[in-house]
Structure 1
């Protein structure tokens, strides 16, 4: 069964909608040097994480500069998982992962994914911009990502341009460990739409 992560949760109200829709994981975005309506401060992120019920995984999404600052942010937020974006080389990810108590997911492009296999606990294969940030709202070559699922030892999380309308096809094509969505389930920038959340989770699970 493909797991579902809803990223860019900015309020407790949206957290409630995400949990009600049946998502497996939520993401909070903190300390990113890019303009995004999903970025919140560590204090609000910690509040959302603390309000998340048991059995829903919490993920800190960050793009730390310098990379060593990730440990301090992770401690303040208290999430189960740290998802790293940016241009860290594989050895940098491995070093940072060793310093963090939580599991680590690293965001990579399809072409770069093989270089990062096994240096983190999972790979988030996304349509990244030049800085290594996600949230572009663009899809990538799902057939190539399906090859990565077969070739790599690391679990693959599919992201990039997913919506309630295309997630069923994405899951069928790629067969990822999980799917990750942010803007594709928003009613307005930075705020989730309950109907879109419900449809996304349902269709990711193969239900019409």
Structure 2
């Protein structure tokens, strides 16, 4: 069954609603260099992470300048996993001993996907913008991402433009380890639509993969 990560929480009510809907992971965006209504201070990310119950993973989504800054942010927030944007494969590899799983955010057209797959615990395939950030709300070539899933021996998380309306098709096409959504389940920037979150989880987890 495909796992579900909902990203970009800014308050406890939305986070609790997502947990009740059955998400596997929640993403907290902090320490990023792009403008986003989902960004929160690192201290707030730490506070929200502490409210997440056992068996639901917390993911710090961040854009660090280097490995040292990544380690500092992991220590400050204490997530189960860190999703890094903007680090090269060599930098990602040096985080192998960090006290959190490492998810590398990549574009499906990247030429160094093999290197990222060897360095990270998982890949998040997203539509990356010119500044290195994801969360563009745009879909990408799902057939290309299916090729990545089939060719790389690493969990692949599908992101980019997913909504309750298209997530089942995305799962059936790509067969990802997990799907990730932020703006696709929002009623406004940074605030989740609780009904949309429930629909997204239900449709993602019930979708059947096409052989």
TM-score range, shorter chain: over 0.9
Query: Deviation digits for residues 17-62 of structure 1, max 9, x if unmatched?
Result: 1111110100000100110001001111111110001100000000
Measure, in 1, the Cα distance between the counterparts of 2:76 and 2:153.
31
Gaps spanning 5+ residues in structure 1: where? none
Shift of 1:99: 4.8
Q: CA deviation at 1:98?
A: 2.9
The size of the alignment, in residue pairs, is 206
In 2, the alpha carbon distance for the partners of 1:116 and 1:131 equals: 19
User: Could you report, residue by residue, the CA deviation over 1:100-158 in whole angstroms, capped at 9, with x for unpaired residues?
Assistant: 21110000011223331121000000000012100000000000100111100111000
Q: Which residue does 1:109 correspond to in 2?
A: 107
**What residue in structure 2 maps to residue 173 of structure 1?**
173
CA deviations 1:68-107 (Å, max 9, x no partner) are 2111111111110000011x22111111x13521110000
Tell me how large the CA RMSD over aligned residues is: 1.3
Whole-Å separation in 1 of the counterparts to 2:79 and 2:91: 21
Look up the SS of the partner of 1:124 in the other structure.
strand
1:22 corresponds to which residue? 22
DSSP 3-state at the match of 2:124: strand
Instruction: Normalising by structure 1, report the TM-score.
Output: 0.96
Residues 151-162 of structure 1 aligned to structure 2 (within 5 Å): 151-162=151-162
- Residue 183, structure 1, aligned to residue 175, structure 2: no
- Give how far 1:10 is off: 0.9
Q: More displaced, 106-115 or 69-78?
A: 106-115
In structure 1, what is the Cα distance between the partners aligned to 2:137 and 2:67?
Answer: 25
CA distance in 2, matches of 1:109, 1:6: 19
1:187-206 residue pairs with structure 2 within 5 A? 187-206=187-206
Give structure 1 regions of 4+ aligned residues with deviation exceeding 4 angstroms.
none
Q: 1:129, 1:171 → 2: CA distance?
A: 23
Helix, strand or coil at the partner of 1:118: helix
Which residue matches 1:5?
Answer: 5
Are residues 1:39 and 2:23 paired? no
- 1:63 is matched with 63
Query: Distance in 1 between the 2:181 and 2:28 partners?
Result: 12
Aligned residues of 1:139 and 1:161 also touching (Cα < 8 A): yes
Q: Match for residue 138 of structure 2? A: 138
**Counterparts of 1:91 and 1:109, CA distance in 2:** 17
157-166 or 65-74, which moves further after superposition? 65-74
Instruction: Provide the rounded CA distance (Å) in 1 between the counterparts of 2:126 and 2:102.
Output: 16
